[in-house]
């Protein structure tokens, strides 16, 4: 699997020595006083993007369903403007898009209806509304491998029917972004969130790691904050990131290496499990997260060197664990 679009842009526009804009108090002024509309601002990826943009001095308009919620108020306290809207309601999006110069787009599947079309409908509504509003730049976050998945061994033969809706929705939204006619667009395709390894999360639900990912399977890991930094870099330089499709990983480690890092950070002995689905669920894993054949057999194309070639600073898993988990 290759990341051709990314590599072509890197060859034509970048050198490995170039750095993204610094998100510090002394950075250059933003391109415009017009805000960026951030969807999912009360969640992981949207929240990280809102923080990175606000730190860079870029105005943020956060699309929220309930401006009175504690999460929405927390985003507002950081300096974001709140606007009420719902990606499932196209009519609510036009007012939110008025006067913005860019959109950060994120949708997630409905875990209670993984075979449904909720993710696709929300993505389509946002892309179409942004296009109709004349928004100049669109940065969308998808998932590693989306669009390349059809090249996986066994796909054509029906080996991966359980993944068809998952990848299909994300690929369809990516295509919608490419075809919408935005002056500048970027696709971020992140790997497995490091935050999935916080104690109490679905991969670490109790006092053991609970997953069917094999001990020697290498995962493309990404710190959520790095997604925000990458998105903010794209908004800081729209031409440079135009049509970049970035397979985004902060680090790559096997489950055995992940267990070793977590053990050091938490001061407990953890081992990489070798579980059946039944054993993982009994250990506390969520049933929707248990099928891991894709990770074990196909893997993730995201690589840290892709982001480094654009000068995007990355967080190693060890550094992330020290910052978030050290007792």
Number of CB atoms found within 10 A of residue 114's CB: 14
Question: To the nearest 10°, the Cα dihedral for 7, 12, 18, 21?
Answer: -90
Beta-strand ranges (E) seen in the chain are 36-38, 60-64, 81-84, 102-105, 137-141, 184-190, 192-193, 218-222, 244-248, 251-254
CA–CA gap between residue 145 and residue 42 (Å, rounded): 26
pLDDT value of residue 326: 77
Strand order in the sheet with 102-105: 81-84, 60-64, 36-38, 102-105, 137-141, 184-190, 244-248
Hey, what are 64's tokens?
């929220």
Q: Which carries the bigger pLDDT value, residue 114 or residue 130?
A: 130
pLDDT value of residue 13: 31
pLDDT value of residue 278: 94
pLDDT value of residue 143: 98
Give per-residue pLDDT as tens, 254-284. 999 999 999 999 999 999 999 999 999 999 9
Q: For strand 184-190 and strand 244-248, is the pairing parallel, antiparallel, or unpaired?
A: parallel
Residue from 218, 144, 126, 234 nearest 180 by CA: 126
Give per-residue pLDDT as tens, 135-159. 999 999 999 999 999 999 999 999 9
Q: Which carries the bigger pLDDT value, residue 214 or residue 22?
A: 214
Task: For residues 94-118, give the mean pLDDT.
Answer: 90
CA–CA gap between residue 145 and residue 258 (Å, rounded): 21
Residue from 195, 196, 312 nearest 248 by CA: 312
pLDDT value of residue 31: 64
Q: Which carries the bigger pLDDT value, residue 32 or residue 174?
A: 174
Radius of gyration of the CA atoms of the chain, in A = 19
pLDDT value of residue 109: 80
Q: Which carries the bigger pLDDT value, residue 226 or residue 30?
A: 226
Q: With contact defined as beta carbons under 8 Å apart, do 91 and 271 qualify?
A: no
pLDDT value of residue 327: 64
Given a cut of 90, whether residue 169 has pLDDT beyond it is yes
Question: To the nearest 10°, the Cα dihedral for 228, 231, 235, 238?
Answer: 160
Grade residue 286 by pLDDT with cuts at 50, 70 and 90.
confident
Q: Which carries the bigger pLDDT value, residue 246 or residue 21?
A: 246
Give per-residue pLDDT as tens, 43-61. 999 999 999 999 999 999 9
Residue from 212, 197, 202 nearest 273 by CA: 212
pLDDT value of residue 15: 28
CA–CA gap between residue 76 and residue 73 (Å, rounded): 5
CA–CA gap between residue 201 and residue 207 (Å, rounded): 11
Task: For residues 167-191, give the mean pLDDT.
Answer: 98
Q: What is the mean pLDDT of the chain?
A: 90
Given a cut of 80, whether residue 25 has pLDDT beyond it is no
């Amino acid at each position: 699997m290759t990341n051709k679009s990314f590599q072509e842009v890197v060859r034509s526009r970048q050198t490995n020595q170039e750095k993204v804009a610094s998100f510090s108090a002394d950075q250059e002024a933003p391109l415009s006083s017009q805000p960026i509309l951030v969807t999912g601002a009360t969640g992981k990826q949207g929240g990280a993007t809102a923080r990175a943009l606000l730190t860079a001095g870029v105005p943020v308009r956060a699309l929220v369903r309930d401006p009175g919620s504690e999460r929405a108020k927390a985003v507002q306290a950081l300096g974001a403007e709140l606007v009420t809207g719902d990606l499932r309601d196209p009519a609510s999006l036009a007012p939110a898009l008025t006067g913005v110069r860019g959109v950060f787009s994120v949708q997630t599947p409905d875990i209670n209806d993984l075979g449904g079309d909720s993710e696709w409908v929300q993505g389509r509504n946002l892309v179409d509304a942004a296009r109709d509003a004349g928004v100049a730049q669109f940065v969308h976050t998808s998932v590693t491998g989306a669009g390349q998945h059809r090249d996986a061994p066994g796909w054509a033969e029906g080996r991966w029917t359980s993944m068809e809706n998952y990848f299909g929705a994300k690929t369809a939204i990516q295509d919608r972004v490419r075809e919408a006619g935005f002056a500048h667009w970027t696709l971020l395709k992140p790997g497995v969130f490091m935050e999935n390894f916080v104690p109490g999360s679905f991969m670490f639900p109790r006092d053991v790691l609970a997953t069917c990912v094999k001990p020697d399977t290498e995962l493309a890991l990404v710190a959520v904050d790095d997604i925000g930094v990458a998105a903010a870099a794209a908004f800081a330089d729209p031409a440079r990131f135009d049509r970049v499709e970035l397979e985004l990983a902060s680090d790559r480690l096997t489950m055995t290496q992940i267990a070793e890092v977590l053990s050091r950070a938490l001061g407990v002995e953890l081992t990489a499990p070798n579980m059946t689905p039944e054993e993982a669920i009994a250990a506390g894993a969520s049933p929707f997260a248990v099928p891991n054949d894709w990770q074990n057999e196909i893997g993730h194309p995201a690589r840290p060197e892709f982001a480094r070639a654009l000068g995007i600073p990355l967080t190693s898993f060890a550094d992330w664990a020290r910052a978030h988990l050290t007792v």
